[in-house]
């Protein structure tokens, strides 16, 4: 059997790639150390193709492709893994606090109404009040959108790995310590149990991608830093909001049954893991500002995770400058659950071609950018 394609990092990016490559018949080896702050473990799992960095614009077609790929594969992954990861279409009400936000949101409506399976409709404050009187009265209106999907991101990750495993992928718990290279080729990797020969290496290591690994010198690539987000998981005995409700990062998202996520924040530093009471109070106040009439939820868990972010907000996906068989999937920021199916697809294609593909130059890891 040929040496495997190694994937380091089994967040959603590495897990989707493992599934994709195993399904294409490749030998796959995944090494992951499940460190605290893994972005995939703590997020609301929105698969939303119609907003985010580079939308509208450079990422617009890529977001649509990513959504389509999830839609095509999710039933297979669910059936073969036997894991229900909660795929479901959700409505979302984007609230506007002033005219400027209202103009921005209204301009999104056409994008929703143009895409098959999606729609959007502007609601004025009276309509919102009739829809759910628990929403605050301070909003100038809101865009009700239909078609976005929500999953349990952690269960989705596990389901993808389970399918890859069922097709022969080897999944190892460990930290990559060293790589051995010759000229422009990575020959083996070592996670503390000796060198293992590999055919290709894809680093999908998320926000701590600059941790030192002996021998790993990929060349000049865009830096990735953590954009930390805090979330509460809450339970409410009150009737559920009829849709996800948000204003900017402040949001109430459906999770499972009577459980909801309350978000959100973004910060450059500070602790990962369980967050402070101050942050909890701020998040609860945010949820209250969205829906003052929603009965105060009980906090089940509070935590934070690190979005792997680039300076321009775009992902870094493709070949490393220094290694012909070295690949990177990183910088997925706040869109990694959505983007994972697409990043797996394009890296699988590039590995097949043994070359970077020009059509994805916008997201190339060595694109011109502030290299810090
Ligand atoms: C609060 C919050 C809300 C979000 N909401 C959404 C959303 O609604 N929709 C959406 O699409 N995205 C969302 N995101 C973004 C999404 O969670 C991330 O983009 C995505 O999870 C990143 O996945 P990843 O696989 O690149 O990295 P991670 O999930 O961080 O995984 C990286 C993995 O690599 C491992 N690793 C690192 N170094 C090594 C090493 N040397 N050896 C072995 N293993 C290693 C780590 O342990 C980890 O398991 C949100 C993120 C946050 C924080």
Q: Are 310 and 333 in contact (CB under 8 A)?
A: yes
Residue 298's beta-bridge partner residues?
235
Structure tokens at 11: 């967040």
End-to-end Cα spacing for the chain: 42
Interior angle at CA 10, CA 207 and CA 254, nearest 5: 80
CA-nearest residue for atom 41, ligand 1, is: 176
Determine which of 33-37, 269-273, 307-311 has the lowest per-residue pLDDT on average: 269-273
Q: What SS3 state is found at 94? A: strand
- Whole-number Å distance, alpha carbon 209 to ligand 1 midpoint, is 11
Domain boundaries, given as residue ranges, for the chain: 5-65+154-223+311-363, 90-147+225-309
Q: Which atom of ligand 1 sits closest to the CA of residue 41?
A: 29
267 CB near ligand 1 (under 6 Å):
no
Query: How far apart are alpha carbons 194 and 343 in whole angstroms?
Result: 30
3-state helix, strand, coil in the chain (%, to 5): 30, 30, 40
Q: How many residues does the chain have?
A: 372
Fold agreement (5-65+154-223+311-363, 90-147+225-309):
no
Residue 37, ligand 1, Cβ within 6 A? no
What is residue 284's three-state secondary structure?
helix
Sign of CA pseudo-dihedral 337, 342, 346, 352: positive
pTM here? 0.97
Q: Which among 279, 87, 149 has a CA at the least distance from the CA of 287?
A: 279
Report the atom number in ligand 1 closest to the C-alpha of 231.
Answer: 1
Q: What are phi and psi of 153, to 5 degrees?
A: -65, -40
Please check the confidence at residue 372 and state whether its pLDDT lies above 70.
no
185-190 and 5-8 as β-strands: parallel, antiparallel, unpaired?
unpaired
Annotate 37-81 with three-state secondary structure: CCHHHCCCCEECCCCCCCCCCCCHHHHHHHHHHHHHHHHHHHHHH
Q: What is the pLDDT of residues 159-194, one digit of tens each?
A: 999 999 999 999 999 999 999 999 999 999 999 999
In this prediction, residues 325-331 reach a mean pLDDT of: 98
Give the DSSP letter of residue 91.
Answer: E
5-65+154-223+311-363: which CATH topology? FAD/NAD(P)-binding domain (3.50.50)
Rounded Cα distance between 121 and 259, Å, is 27
Question: pLDDT tens, 105-129?
Answer: 999 999 999 999 999 999 999 999 9
Check pLDDT > 70 for residue 351. yes
Q: Which atom of ligand 1 is nearest to the CA of 175?
A: 42
Name residue, tokens 């495997």: 4
State yes or no: pLDDT of 142 exceeds 50: yes
The number of CA neighbours under 13 Å toward the Cβ of 179 is: 27
pLDDT tens-digit readout, 197-237 = 999 999 999 998 888 999 999 999 999 999 999 999 999 99
pLDDT per residue as tens digits for the range 146-160: 999 999 999 999 999
Check pocket membership of 31 for ligand 1, CB cut-off 6 A. yes
| 179 C-beta closer than 6 A to ligand 1 | no
Q: Are strands 244-247 and 316-319 parallel, antiparallel or unpaired?
A: unpaired
Write down the CATH number for the domain with range 90-147+225-309: 3.30.9.10
pLDDT at 241 over 60: yes
Give the mutation target among 20, 37, 40 for probing the ligand 1 site: most ligand atoms within 8 A of CB: 40
Token readout for 5 is: 């394609």
Q: What is the 8-class DSSP label of residue 362?
A: G
Q: Quick one: how many helices (H) and strands (E) in the chain?
A: 7, 18
Q: In this structure, which residue's CA is closest to atom 5 in ligand 1?
A: 43
Nearest protein CA to atom 25 of ligand 1, as residue:
11
């Amino acid at each position: 059997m040929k040496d495997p394609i190694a994937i380091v990092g089994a967040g959603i990016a590495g897990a989707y790639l493992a599934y994709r490559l195993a399904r294409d018949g490749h030998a796959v080896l995944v090494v992951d150390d499940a460190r605290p702050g893994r972005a995939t473990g703590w997020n609301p799992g929105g698969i939303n193709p119609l907003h985010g960095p580079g939308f509208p614009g450079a990422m617009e077609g890529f977001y649509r492709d990513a959504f389509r790929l999830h839609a095509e594969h999710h039933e297979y992954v669910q059936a073969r893994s036997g894991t229900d990861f909660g795929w479901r279409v959700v409505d979302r009400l984007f609230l506007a606090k002033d005219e400027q936000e209202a103009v921005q949101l209204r301009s999104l409506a056409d994008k929703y109404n143009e895409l098959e399976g999606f729609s959007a409709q502007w609601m004025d404050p009276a309509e919102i009040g009739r829809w759910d009187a628990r929403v605050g009265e301070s909003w100038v209106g809101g865009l009700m959108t239909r078609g976005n999907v929500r999953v349990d991101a952690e269960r989705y990750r596990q389901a993808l790995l389970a399918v890859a495993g069922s097709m022969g992928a080897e999944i190892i718990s460990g930290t990559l310590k060293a790589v051995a290279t010759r000229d422009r080729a990575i020959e083996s990797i070592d996670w503390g149990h000796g060198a293992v020969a590999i055919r290709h290496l894809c680093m999908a290591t998320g926000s701590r991608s600059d941790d030192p690994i002996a021998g790993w010198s990929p060349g000049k690539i865009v830096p990735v830093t953590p954009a930390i987000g805090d979330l509460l998981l809450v339970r409410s005995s009150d009737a559920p909001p009829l849709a996800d409700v948000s204003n900017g990062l402040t949001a109430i998202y459906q999770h499972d049954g009577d459980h909801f996520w309350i978000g959100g924040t973004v910060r450059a530093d500070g602790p990962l893991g369980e967050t402070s009471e101050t942050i909890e109070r701020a998040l609860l106040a945010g949820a209250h500002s969205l829906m003052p009439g929603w009965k105060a939820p009980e906090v089940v868990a509070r935590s934070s995770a690190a979005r792997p972010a680039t300076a321009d907000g775009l992902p870094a996906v493709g070949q490393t400058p220094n290694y012909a068989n070295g690949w990177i999937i990183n910088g997925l920021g706040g869109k990694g659950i959505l983007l994972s199916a697409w990043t797996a697809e394009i890296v699988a294609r590039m590995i097949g071609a043994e070359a970077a593909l020009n059509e994805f130059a916008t997201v190339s890891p060595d694109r011109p950018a502030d290299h810090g």
